[in-house]
Amino acid sequence: MKNDLERDTKFTHMGRPPAGLGTPVSHSVTRASTLLFEKAEDLYRSDVRGYGRHGAAVHDALAELFTELEQGVGTLLYSSGLAALTGPVLSIVKPGDHILLTDSTYGPTRHFCLTFLARLGVETTFYDPRIGSGISDLIQDNTSLILLESPGSLTFEIQDIPAIAKAARAKGVTTLIDNTWSAGISLSPLPMGVDISIHAATKYFGGHSDIMYGAAIFADEAHFKRAQMTAKQLGNASSPDDAYQILRGFRTVLPRFRQQEATSLALAEWLMTRDEIQQVLHPAVSDHPDHALWQRDFTGGGCIFSVVLKPTSEADVLRFINNLNLFGIGYSYGGFESLAIHCDPQLRRSCAATLAGPLVRFACGLEAMVDLKNDIEQSLVSIY
């Protein structure tokens, strides 16, 4: 595939079977645990798959697309987004290590570090997501990993990724970023110096809220090979049916992402004008405190953002969510249906500033923006 082609073209044509007489346009799904060999001496070859857990052609095609997306050297596929994060982490850390984790991280990542890694004897220190190059002062002799997420989960802080990556490399520390928000479409962290980029492919690449999947993309062969061995040792595997669905979603991710991105920005800018809203937390709007950093590093936005409501009771916040007609009440994002959640019950921060009101997160689907706007408006009016 030519390198000068646009992404739309690459994502349409990469990872497809060579054309022949009646060749299917997409890879077939191969369901197998046992793989047979004609000769016994071939059983132990290292250049062929020996067992179904090691994947199939559809997995190879999907990995090729993720590697192209993130400009990496290789991709490992996992059964969920969280597994795509925990697997590479476990390939890096060892008992007695110290890691740095952004305080604005995804909740399950925080829980994994404070429970599972703690039981392994790995210490976690949370850092202010806006620390930038100052993170160098937090790196200890036993620090092995820095975990980033930009924008931050729920509160949408933008991190100075190049500065953190530079500080980490100067001290031989590995960096890993959760890049799910941007889908790798509006942010490319590996060229900025990050070592590993992970995606909950469940979201944009699934696109229909009916499949769970994850991917980790690596900037260099050393990290890739180590994580690959760890995945084999832990028995990591993903269904060929799941891989097929994510590969199918990959073909249409760009137009879906662009529509959802445009809707989220339009809604965020409109909500900035509403008296009921204390603050809009979307890095693409001009009054976001990290807007300049977002403009420097990102080429676009994403489909989710949060708002801080004017102070009101928890009962009113719940009524606001319940009165929405077009927004489903549920976790995740990137699917065809818009979603809304109240965030305060899951908001855990060690060093983030206290918000001035209740926090609500919107995930924009494929509905018309005007209908979503009208839905939010009627629900706001019902509580204020």
Active-site position among 110, 203, 251, 256: 203
Among 369, 384, 363, 381, which residue's Cα sits nearest to residue 153?
363
HEC string of 140-198 equals: CCCEEEEEEECCCCCCCCCCCHHHHHHHHHHCCCEEEEECCCCCCCCCCCHHHCCCEEE
Residues in the chain: 384
What the block records as the tokens of 365 is 């689907």
Active-site position among 16, 53, 258, 373: 53
What the block records as the tokens of 201 is 């492919």
What does the alpha-carbon distance between residue 332 and residue 343 come to, in Å, rounded to a whole number? 13
What does the alpha-carbon distance between residue 213 and residue 80 come to, in Å, rounded to a whole number? 4
HEC string of 303-335 equals: CEEEEEECCCCHHHHHHHHHHCCCCECCCCCCC
Among 249, 297, 277, 291, which residue's Cα sits nearest to residue 356?
277
Active-site position among 97, 128, 160, 178: 178
CB 205, CB 249: distance < 8 Å: yes
Active-site position among 78, 103, 106, 297: 106
Active site residue 4: no
CB 209, CB 336: distance < 8 Å: yes
Active site residue 53: yes
CB 55, CB 39: distance < 8 Å: no
Supply the residues annotated as catalytic. 53, 106, 178, 203
